[in-house]
Structure 1
């Protein structure tokens, strides 16, 4: 049997193209007869070669091919290797390989011809009907003459392209179809046999595995590269945040990084000052002049209601504002407790993706500790500053009266024979008053010491409210008169007596009234109110003084803390009075409540049960 050379195959292909061109213009019977004889001769040689090819040789070829397509993990290389192998083993003229897209549609990946070259786009012609049939039914298709096959003869692509010998095999892997291979010979019928189909199915099985491996490697490689980039980014973030110990600086750096990772336009950091308080904005960050409808210390929970749920659950959530714009709530958690929350506001062009969300969660877990350490460091610095200031205040408040005592004592000593009784009485009262002031300072220090050691006890007695109010009045009236304040007492009628430590209760009222008259400019109003509320008595002290803003209210009761404004600093005090007051009220079974507005004054109140339980502070 003569051997069919590559030149003869190319010549047959050229003759078929000439035949097609002649048919489109006009039919020359003699010329057509000559061309058909040449094609018939070539096809006889092709069929004879295939029928004479030893089965062993085809198996060897299949083995060599499957080895070759498994040597690369580059997807494009594997696809070309598979298609060339399919054409070579079947003797096809053209071959096409399709893979399913994410939406399940077959996409052409490779279009090759028998000489291992790629078809140009205008040469790509195949039956999509047959490809879809193979994929949809997960079933191989063999047709010896597609134009006469009842399954496909009605399809326009089959008729228009005059398709004849076709095989299409689904690519199956892990129980699913990932695509299909398609080989054809357009001009001749009966070129493919069942043996060809069997070999192509075997090759397609191996090819599907090789293609799937290449795809997985491509995806895995991309994901690995992405994860490595993420880890590098997180490392850079760690290095940037680790050197920051100032809370505001660390917080602003965190917000800037979060905005960049999420392509967000703005962000804010919210915190809860104390139990029961709302989530308030403490820091805000804007990108390129963007704005966030959140003011400093604003109640974020009221502006964005989902934040309360995010804070309580500690879970990241996407939500929308009133205008439908996407936001993300990112809790910062330390020791399984939320201590702050980041609110990120995106924009219409850059919605926050799941990948960005995952990166932000990683950022939060790393940054939370840094931010918490910065917060603790700020607290330590503030406590240290407050203690230093306290030592200075105490030193001044003790040194000044001692100098005064010394001065009056020396004056009495030097002029004891010249002074009359009235002058001696006056100087003596100055000395006694100064000693009383020093005693108050030492008493505060003593109270703090006993509170910290847990040795603060009550001595309950029967307290008559009128006597208590009168005692408080006698104590504070000198200062109230000196400052020209109006003193108002509002005591309900027939108030019951209560069981309480008279002097501790008086200490609380004196502390509150003292704060009221000190932080009210001269000529204000100071009001002491005692009213019955059910089975309790409400004690309240209100003033028309300078008042406090939200940030100052958050610091009420902190030891050694005093507001930093000029007027507050001009008044005497140690920053311990309200701390002691809060602890005593807590010992009585209630909490100190404060209502205040800058420029309008403040109101301090607490409720005392008519029957008071007594215990030590350490038990509380």
Structure 2
């Protein structure tokens, strides 16, 4: 160890100095090591935090339900998540380092400019909606909501772009579907309003197919209805089809067409591609027009009792996937059409019922008018005016009896045209040449000419004047009807329509036939009534002669017989008186018959004379018994007569009432066998007095009972047979008094005859 000399000291100093330097260095090293150790810990902490942040970012990218991405300043993908990669239809690896145009060339042009703008300082985030197709969903339009925002690298200061992408296709499609549905519903509602205002079904059909093609954007639309044989469907309305097919083209039912298959399903049928369709055969109507896709549905009409009306369908040339919403819209349009069909059918039914009601009311009125007179000329005139009031502008009535055409009556609705009708009425027609009623006369059948041409009018004219009259009348439609009654042709009825906007149809012909039938019966009745009136007049003249010219000789016979009886001797008196009585009896019976004939004529003419006074019913009963009591005794019959106590008088002709009661009592005596009984009674019934005569004779059958009051009718031949006028005269007398007469009878149990006569008015007032 160096301690004493200078060199040693210096060495020691050097050594000490070196020790001090080493210590310093060591301290510094230790200090540096300690510092670096602290720095490493911080770096590790920072690194750990950074790794944690990256992990969070990775998790965010991995788990985010939206697309996330980052582009550098060259618009290359630097980072993205699986969602964004899926949107683009490529794996993540095919994105990194590639530009937008390389990955999504069909979308890049829409967003490149915007993204470059975001690379400039001061740019702010932008939001954009994008639409387009992607490789992941070719053929389907996708929609995205994209947020772009600038990103600056804190180290390199380079700018990039962050991207957040959300697929809003479902929302967009839902909104578009709602918008489409609202638009379709608006179209359906508008169609419904127009359908209610439409005058006919064809207008509704044409509107429906036009609405379908316009709303769905299709090339074709068709409305098919069943043909009469129900084996085919006829194209009633359409859009897009070749000219001339609407109204004529048809398709088969069943699996021979899309329409037929739709009828089998009774639900909407969607066809994606007709070329590959296996459910049914493609009809030529579709294939010849190049149809590929389509949708069809059934048109239901409840009024058809379960039978569909037809089919509504629409088609496209290009392939198209029709949606259930499209089918629902088509069905809604079909429902509007079906409702219109139902409405029209119900309106037609109601109109038919109203028309039938009007026709029945008209025919009832016509019957009343025609029945209001039995005058032949008046009946024809009323008939003609009925026709022009309800059925025609001009009515021409041809009537013939023995001659081919005996009478012509023409009437026009317009008074200004009356002169034409009169000229036509006064024209003499040749039965061998055509005229308005010629066809009816030849065929004896109704004739309907809905559209009357100028040639047809000319064919019915007999000469230039006749043709001129017909041209001035200017008929556009015509009906001709036979006037037939009880198998006999009376004539013909011709009805002319002169209004350009109206034509006769089957319903008009049926109404005219009903009227013609009623009119023919009325005309025939008037004709027969005229004959009857002339016969009655002739009969009355004969009766007047008979009553006057026969009564005088009968009176002379009676007087001569009486004088003869006074001049005979006593020896021959009894024998002569017997002969005289027989002569006088015959004369009286002849007088009685003559009086009966006169009474019948007076009753039928409504001229039966009555001398009315207050008559006591009990007195009438007593007089009748006194008058015929002897005859009843001779026939060994018991007669009982009674009257109600306090019975009031009637207002009538005493002799005529006695004639009625005596006739009934005489018949009872005549038809009651010996040992029988006859009862006669009068009693009050309300404001009438009821007389009745009952016997115990053989009675009458219902057939006989129905005819006993007919003139000249007798129930059975008897030895005391009369002319069959008594009950008919009795009926006339009772009805002339305002009463009623009837009979009741049962075979084997006798008969009861009743008749009533009103109580005298003064007595009615006293009773009240």
Q: State the TM-score bracket (shorter-chain normalisation).
A: 0.3 to 0.5
Q: Please, what TM-score do these two structures have when normalized by structure 2?
A: 0.33
Q: Please, what TM-score do these two structures have when normalized by structure 1?
A: 0.40
* Rg larger for: 2
Pick 1 or 2: higher relative contact order, CA cutoff 8 A, min separation 6.
Answer: 1
